[in-house]
């Protein structure tokens, strides 16, 4: 037994790692969420549908190859608790774990088979400084650890800091994200299949704005993955 193992055992004895959802002590191999809670998450099971609600949401807005989401986001539910921990409580490593979960769930569906780049939705620099990290980038890191697909964080930037979408009506959400993204390197995305990643998909306005900024790129193909859908 190494000194590191002994120190970790002592830390777990006095400061046990607890499940984010049920507060039960985490067992070896469990990260952030215990196995029981993981098995009872509000999975969308969109993989079982020929045309899922995310596809229908974007069908009039974005030309896409595939579109899906892993979890349902419901007020007071476990999906909301996880997303809030990721976004508002500094738990960036949870994003990595959620990315791994999504990659594992969708790996056998063929979602990643032709994807060239993972493109997390960018944060505005001011929001990035406030939060200290981009939660969608950490989701991308988790997906990369399973699929090996490269992450692109430089080809698209956010040039307008928007207000929270939470209490806005649908038409206000669309206006709020209009022209907020700028293409920085079209050449890097030419003839590429990119997977746009976001933590929560609501009306689809933010993802649509990303796609709009990239639509003139020659040969680009876009797929969409959200960790949760509201």
Predicted confidence (pLDDT) per residue in 73-84, tens digit: 999 999 999 999
pTM of full prediction above 0.85: yes
Q: Would you give the distance in Å from CA 151 to the centre of its chain?
A: 13
pLDDT in tens, 81-101: 999 999 999 999 999 999 999
Query: Under 8 Å CB-to-CB from 115, ≥6 apart: which residues?
Result: 147, 149, 193, 194, 195, 223
Please count the residues of the chain: 230
Domains in the chain (CATH in brackets) are: 1-40 (no CATH), 41-229 (3.40.50)
The confidence score (pLDDT) of residue 179 equals: 86
pLDDT band for 133, please (50, 70, 90 cuts): very high
CA distances from 27 to 86, 139, 192 (A): 21, 23, 41
Tell me: pLDDT of 162 over 80: no
- Alpha carbons 128 and 125: distance in angstroms, whole number: 5
Helix (H, G, I), strand (E, B) or coil at 180: coil
Banded model confidence at residue 6, pLDDT cuts 50, 70, 90: low
Give the pLDDT band (50/70/90) at residue 177: confident
Q: How many CB atoms lie within 10 A of CB 176?
A: 17
């Amino acid at each position: 037994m190494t000194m590191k193992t002994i120190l970790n055992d002592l830390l777990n004895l006095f400061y046990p790692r607890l499940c984010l959802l049920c507060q039960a002590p985490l067992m070896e191999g469990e990260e952030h969420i215990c196995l029981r809670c993981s098995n009872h998450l509000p999975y969308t099971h969109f993989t079982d549908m020929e045309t899922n609600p995310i596809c229908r949401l974007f069908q009039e807005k974005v030309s896409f190859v595939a579109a899906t989401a892993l979890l349902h986001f419901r007020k007071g539910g476990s999906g909301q608790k996880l997303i809030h921990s990721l976004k508002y409580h500094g738990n960036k490593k949870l994003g990595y774990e959620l990315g791994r979960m999504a990659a594992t769930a969708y790996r056998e569906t063929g979602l990643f088979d032709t994807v060239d780049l993972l493109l997390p939705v960018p944060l505005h620099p001011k929001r990035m400084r406030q939060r200290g990290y981009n939660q969608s980038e950490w989701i991308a890191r988790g997906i990369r650890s399973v699929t090996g697909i490269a992450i692109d964080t430089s080809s698209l930037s956010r040039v307008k800091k928007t207000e929270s979408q939470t209490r806005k009506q649908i038409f206000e959400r669309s206006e709020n994200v209009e022209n907020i993204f700028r293409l920085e390197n079209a050449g890097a995305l030419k003839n590429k299949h990119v997977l746009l990643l976001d933590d929560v998909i609501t009306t689809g306005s933010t993802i649509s704005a990303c796609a709009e900024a990239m639509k003139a790129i020659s040969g680009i193909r876009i797929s969409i993955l959200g960790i949760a859908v509201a």
